[in-house]
Structure 1
Amino acid sequence: MKLLYALLLSFSLLTSAVAQEDGYVVAVKVCIENNGTLAYYDTVLDAMFLDFKTEFQANNIPDSVWKIVEKEKEYAKNGLATMLSRAYKEHFTLQDLELMNELYTSKAGRNMLQNRSLSKKDKAYLDRFYNSATGKKIQNTQREMSASLRRLAKIWINNTSNQVAEVLSEKGYSF
């Protein structure tokens, strides 16, 4: 009976940890959507797929196959948040991410991200945020985060490229 209780407790703790991790990844995905990172990597994906189409042009691949290949974009975008969450997790809590998301969706945050002129009210809001504990974490970890994000993005791009090549190979097409 004790073994059963131990197994049930272990399962509930594991389920709780997985659910918490999923919430963290979701918060990272929202964050990279809000701060423009996902839009940037969307253009990276578009360029990658254009390169594949150019590279495979001689193979006369039908549009129906390209539509199947294009589905890899969605998998890749979902995987990006999971991968980048590793870098965020080293420095930021879930609460930090929630505060970042509040910033990025605020009028001041949107103006900041879009390089629009900032009102006095916007500047005051941004000053308060960047003087907060979360804001200071962002400032203090910026160099390390940028390096981690670049490293993870390279891995993500390589993995995505390999996956697209594999899908094309499975359909009978090669370089």
Structure 2
Amino acid sequence: MMKKLLFVLFFLSSLHFNAQESTYHGDVMRYLTMNGTANQYSAAIDQLFELLGKQYQEYNVPSDVWSELRKETTPELNKILNMLVSAYRGTYEHEDIKNMIAFYETSTGKQLIADKTALNYEQQKEASVFYNSPTGQKILTSEQQISSRVGEVSEIWSRDLYRSLVDKLAEKGYVMQQ
């Protein structure tokens, strides 16, 4: 009887942990979308295709091949965002992420993302209050650490994506000469 009770308690606690983990993950993904990070990586994919287009210009790769490869990069955007969740995990608690979302949903937060130089006086005061809060202070003090982690993750992701696309082009018979 005691073993069953312990098993049930363990099972319920693991469900609770998984639910919390799922919520944290979802909230970080939401934050990365609303703060423009997802758009930055989407633009990076576009730039990678521009680079590849120039590198493979003499091979006359048909547009349908490029379209096919571009479709295969949709999961890559989700992959980098998921990798970034891990980079954020070591620095920000779930409560911090919720506070960040709440701030960036305000008109001040949206303006800060769009163009911080265009903040009016009231928005500057609101931003100052946020950045003086515990979450805001954590953002400011961990900026270099997060930038370093994000940089490492981004480098790995972009290198792997480039290599994957070059390999797929090679499979289709488009091999760059050294």
TM-score, structure 1 length as denominator? 0.84
My pick for the range that moved more, 24-33 or 1-10, is: 1-10
Tell me if the contact between 1:33 and 1:39 (Cα under 8 Å) persists in the aligned partners.
yes
My pick for the range that moved more, 137-146 or 113-122, is: 113-122
Which ranges in structure 1 are unaligned for 5 or more consecutive residues?
none
Which ranges in structure 2 are unaligned for 5 or more consecutive residues?
none
Q: Aligned-pair RMSD on alpha carbons?
A: 2.5
Q: 1:162 to 1:25 in 2, by over 3 A?
A: farther
Matching of residues 18-167 of structure 1 within 5 Å: 18-113=18-113, 114-167=115-168
Query: How many angstroms does 1:95 deviate by?
Result: 2.1
Could you give the per-residue CA deviations for residues 87-107 of structure 1, whole angstroms, max 9, x where no partner exists?
210111222112111212211
Q: 1:171 to 1:18 in 2, by over 3 A?
A: farther
Query: How many angstroms does 1:80 deviate by?
Result: 1.3
Identity over aligned residues, as a percent? 27
Number of aligned positions between the proteins = 175
Q: 1:8 to 1:70 in 2, by over 3 A?
A: farther
Query: Aligned with 1:91: secondary structure?
Result: coil
Query: Aligned with 2:90: secondary structure?
Result: helix
Letter in 1 for 2:156: I
Tell me if the contact between 1:28 and 1:85 (Cα under 8 Å) persists in the aligned partners.
yes
Query: How many angstroms does 1:8 deviate by?
Result: 7.0
Whole-Å separation in 2 of the counterparts to 1:162 and 1:9: 46
